[in-house]
């Protein structure tokens, strides 16, 4: 898996000069939600192969020698008109030639190995509308245009429930227990014992869509604040610590009695989705899995109510916190506030690190804070439409070819694409100190996914609205939406149950 491999590569990568940039980021809309896990949830439901003694030896996929006779294999990916817009165009599937850019050249190297080993031609079609709609239309029309598709987590689950994609267990050679697949994602995306998509080393866009906190290192020094890395390492990084720290930085620079984006200095600038960053950083899930691995509805609202109230208090403090979605401010201008040294913290997706590539701001990266110091572990959510996963359409008539190429691509990416991604994001050109590199590793190790958010069952958006209303009356708002949640969940689960019955499971 990409996070384990990183531990082996980090020392080397920190000495390699950054050669390239990756695509710029786009903040996602407030009504698009996020995913995470609670402390008591592990990836145990998906067995993980033991790591070989020689950790540096390349692990090969269990695929026999195959020759596909030069046939085409087409990936459908995200174009400029897909979910989240042009800043989330897929960039890690194909590369026409070597050009000196780290990601491009890693993709070229990987694909050259794959096409040479299995004798096929790799093609990519970027969606002209949305990839998931194009895949649906192709399958309904008899299929054949696309062999595999990268799409958002939410879209992948919907495609699966509607019967448009295969279970990964039915795709030959694909083994989600291998280290190049994200086991936690597989567990949390599992429905009635089946997983219909896969993410991990095969794509970097799930990393790009992971929520992080950046901080201005010089402001920390100027304000006489303690080493924030040490706070994180000592498990003291909590909601209260964040709030106390950010309040030290705000200043009404122009003295007009108003805190305004173009002129003033803030403790924290961010987008609306930060409410999910705080919610899921607490380890709470709206829809945790039960003992049978099925998503349920959280039964005890005591802790999550406290989480929502505290998140509402922090994000509602307009004297110290600037949320662009609620002011009409653009996400680019939000970044400029941080780059100009007018905010101590900046909350965004990991892809925004590369948007800072020309900035002279000395910044660091840390995970989202725990709810309190008693919490076990840090947790960081992934956006459910910006983050990508791979699916195989049911119209796929060459299953052996599809399985071999998908599994081989994932495996080879662990040794090509993933190191290149860390070369871009982990070197001093972007993340400028070893502590932040270690923090990014921690962030990627602590990602998880809430079925309620992944599948858009409603209560995540309810929580969003309550947080931005100050965090009050959460229980009553929650209870008013439970019936809707259950209806949406039961409808989707019913579809998965029907699929099992049709297969004779």
Q: What integer pLDDT is reported at residue 500 of this predicted model?
A: 96
Q: What integer pLDDT is reported at residue 15 of this predicted model?
A: 32
R_g over Cα of the chain? 22
Q: What integer pLDDT is reported at residue 356 of this predicted model?
A: 81
Q: What is the pLDDT of residues 300-326, one digit of tens each?
A: 999 999 999 999 999 999 999 999 877
Q: What integer pLDDT is reported at residue 197 of this predicted model?
A: 98
Q: What is the pLDDT of residues 162-183, one digit of tens each?
A: 999 999 999 999 999 999 999 9
- C-alpha distance from residue 249 to each of 16, 232, 345 (Å): 35, 19, 9
Q: What are the strands, taking DSSP E only, across 360-429?
A: 363-366, 382-383, 388-391
Q: What integer pLDDT is reported at residue 427 of this predicted model?
A: 62
The residue to which tokens 């987590």 are assigned: 153
Q: What integer pLDDT is reported at residue 164 of this predicted model?
A: 98
Please report the domains of the chain, with CATH numbers, ordered by start residue: 66-208+387-426 (3.40.190.10), 211-381+449-500 (3.40.190.10)
Mean pLDDT for the chain overall: 88
Q: What integer pLDDT is reported at residue 7 of this predicted model?
A: 42
Q: Which of 292, 244, 296, 299 is nearest to 268 (CA)?
A: 244
Tokens encoding 150: 């990268």
The dihedral over CA atoms of 180, 181, 183, 184, expressed in degrees to the nearest 10, equals 110
The residue to which tokens 């992971």 are assigned: 210
Instruction: In the chain, count H helices and then E strands.
Output: 19, 11
SS (H, E, C) 274-316: HHHHHHHHCCCCCCCECCCCCECCCCCCHHHHHHHHHHHHHHC
Tokens encoding 274: 């930060």
Q: What integer pLDDT is reported at residue 37 of this predicted model?
A: 33
Distance CA 320, CA 314 (A): 9
Tokens encoding 47: 């067995």
Considering the entire predicted model, what is its pTM? Answer: 0.87
Sign of CA dihedral 481, 486, 488, 489: positive
The DSSP letter of residue 373 is T
Sign of CA dihedral 57, 58, 64, 67: negative
Give me the phi and psi of 170, to 5 degrees please. -95, -5
Distance CA 418, CA 398 (A): 28
Give me the phi and psi of 74, to 5 degrees please. -110, 125
Ranges of the chain with pLDDT below 70: 1-55, 330, 426-429, 432
The residue to which tokens 């050669």 are assigned: 19
């Amino acid at each position: 898996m990409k996070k384990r491999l990183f531990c082996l590569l980090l020392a080397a990568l920190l000495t390699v000069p950054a050669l390239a940039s990756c695509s710029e980021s786009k903040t996602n809309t407030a009504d698009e939600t996020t995913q995470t896990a609670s402390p008591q949830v592990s990836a145990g439901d998906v067995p993980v192969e033991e790591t070989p003694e020689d950790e540096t030896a390349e692990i090969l996929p269990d695929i026999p020698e195959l020759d596909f006779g030069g046939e085409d294999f087409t990936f459908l990916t995200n174009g400029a008109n897909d979910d989240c817009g042009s800043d989330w165009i897929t960039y890690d599937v194909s590369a026409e030639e070597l050009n000196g850019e780290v990601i491009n050249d890693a993709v070229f190297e990987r694909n050259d190995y794959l096409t040479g080993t299995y004798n096929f031609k790799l093609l990519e079609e970027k969606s002209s509308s949305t990839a998931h709609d194009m895949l649906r239309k192709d399958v309904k029309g008899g299929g054949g245009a696309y062999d595999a598709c990268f799409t958002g987590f939410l879209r992948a689950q919907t495609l699966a429930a509607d019967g448009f994609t295969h279970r990964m267990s039915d795709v030959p050679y694909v083994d989600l227990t291998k280290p190049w697949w994200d086991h936690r994602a597989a567990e949390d995306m599992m429905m009635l014992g089946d997983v219909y998509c896969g993410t991990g080393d095969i794509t970097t866009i799930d990393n790009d869509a992971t929520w992080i906190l950046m901080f201005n290192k010089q402001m920390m020094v100027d304000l006489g604040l303690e080493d924030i890395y040490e706070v994180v390492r000592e498990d003291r990084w909590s909601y209260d610590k964040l709030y106390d720290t950010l309040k030290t930085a705000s200043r009404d620079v122009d003295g007009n009695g108003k805190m305004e984006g173009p002129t003033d200095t803030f403790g924290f600038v961010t987008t609306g989705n930060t409410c999910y960053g705080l919610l899921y950083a607490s380890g709470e899930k709206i829809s945790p899995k039960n003992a049978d691995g099925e998503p349920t509805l959280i039964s005890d609202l005591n802790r999550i109510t406290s989480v929502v109230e505290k998140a509402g208090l922090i994000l509602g403090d307009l004297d110290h916190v600037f949320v662009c979605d609620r002011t009409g401010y653009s996400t680019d201008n939000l970044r400029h506030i941080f780059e100009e040294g007018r905010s101590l913290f900046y909350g965004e997706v990991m892809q925004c690190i590369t948007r800072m590539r020309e900035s002279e701001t000395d910044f660091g990266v840390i995970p989202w804070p725990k709810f309190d110091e008693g919490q076990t572990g840090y947790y960081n959510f992934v956006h459910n439409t910006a983050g990508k996963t791979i699916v195989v359409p049911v119209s796929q008539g060459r299953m052996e070819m599809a399985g071999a190429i998908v599994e081989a691509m994932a495996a080879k990416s662990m040794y090509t694409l993933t190191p290149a991604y860390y070369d871009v994001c982990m070197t001093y050109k972007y993340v400028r100190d070893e502590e932040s590199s270690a923090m990014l590793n921690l962030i990627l190790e602590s990602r998880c996914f809430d079925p309620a958010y992944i599948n858009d069952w409603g209560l995540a958006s309810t929580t969003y609205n309550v947080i931005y209303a100050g965090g009050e009356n959460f229980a009553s708002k929650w209870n008013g939406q439970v019936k809707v949640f259950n209806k949406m969940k039961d409808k989707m689960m019913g579809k998965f149950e029907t699929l099992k019955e049709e297969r004779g499971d």
